[in-house]
Amino acid sequence: MSGASPAQPRHVICMKWGHKYGPEYVNRLYAMVRRHLRGHFHFVCLTDDATGIRSEVQCLPIPPLDLPAGIPERGWNKLATFSADLHGLKGTALFLDVDVVVTGSLDDFFTQPGEFLIIHDHKRPWRITGNSSVYRFELGAHPEVLSYFRSHFNEIRAKFRNEQAYLSDFLHRQGKLSYWPAAWCPSFKYHCIPTWPTNYWQPPFVPEGARVVIFHGECNPPDALAGRRNRRFRFIRPATWVAEHWYE
C-alpha cells in the first residue's frame, strides 16, 4: 500500500462549527499549510459559518449527521468526511484540526504508505485508538464508516466515547489502520511542556522531528503563547515559538 501518487489531487480539509473557534484559526491553518506543503493543493473548510474565512479556502457545508439534539459533541461531525461523495471531491485528503500548529514539512503526509493513517494516541499507546487531529484517507474510499455510524448510532455511542475511538476500531477491524511516525505529531500537553519542576524555568519546546503540534484539552495555541500560571504541576511559561508559526 502506498500514499498518494503525483497525479492524485491533494486536498487539505478542516472543520469549523459552532462558536469555539473563529475564522482566524482557519486562516492561520491555511497559511501554515501553504508555507509547509510544496506544490498544488486544494484547501477546504467544512463549516456552518464561512464569515471571515480567506478567499483561498473553499468553504462547503458539513454533511448532516442528523444526530439527536443535546448530546455531547465528541467530534462526531468529523465522520462526515467519510461521505461516499463529499461535495464531488476526488483524490487524497489530509484532515487537520483547526487548532494545530504546523512546524515542519507536510509533504510526507501525502506519501507515507498506508490506506488510512492517524496519530497514535499519546496518552494510552497500548490501545489502538488514534488521535484524529491529523488523518489521511482517499475521499470516498471508506463510506461504510459513515453508513454504519448512521444506522447504529445508539450502539456506537454506548461503546465509544468519541469519534476517534469508533473510527480507529472500525478501520482496525478492516485491517486498514496505520499510524504516523511517532515524532511527526507530538502533543503540546504531553511532549512540549517540560516536566515538573523544570516547567517553572524552562519554556515549552518543539520536539525534534515535529511537523504538526496538536493541542487537546484546555490549552490552545493562544493559551500556549500566553503561558499559564494557575496550575502547580501544569505551569507553562510562554511558548514564544507558537508565534513563529501560527500566523497568517
Helix, strand counts (H, E) of the chain: 6, 9
- CA 184 vs CA 96, 105, 111, 191: distances in Å: 13, 10, 14, 12
- CA 42 vs CA 13, 17, 57, 95, 131: distances in Å: 8, 20, 8, 12, 23
Q: What integer pLDDT is reported at residue 1 of this predicted model?
A: 44
pLDDT in tens, the chain (248 residues): 456 555 789 999 999 999 999 999 999 999 999 999 999 999 999 999 999 999 999 999 999 887 777 666 668 999 999 999 999 999 999 999 999 999 999 999 999 999 999 999 767 777 899 999 999 999 999 999 999 999 998 899 899 989 999 999 999 999 999 999 999 999 999 999 999 899 999 999 999 999 999 998 778 999 999 998 876 667 999 999 999 999 99
Q: Is 71 exposed, middle or buried (0-12, 13-18, 19+ CB in 10 A)?
A: exposed
Q: Please enumerate, as own/partner, the contacts of 148-156 that have beta carbons within 8 Å and a separation of 24 or more.
A: 149/65, 149/76, 149/79, 150/65, 150/66, 153/67
Tell me how far apart the alpha carbons of residues 211 and 107 are, in angstroms, rounded to a whole number: 10
- The H or E element containing residue 154 is helix 153-159
Domains along the chain? 10-179 (3.90.550.10), 188-245 (no CATH)
User: The pTM is what?
Assistant: 0.94
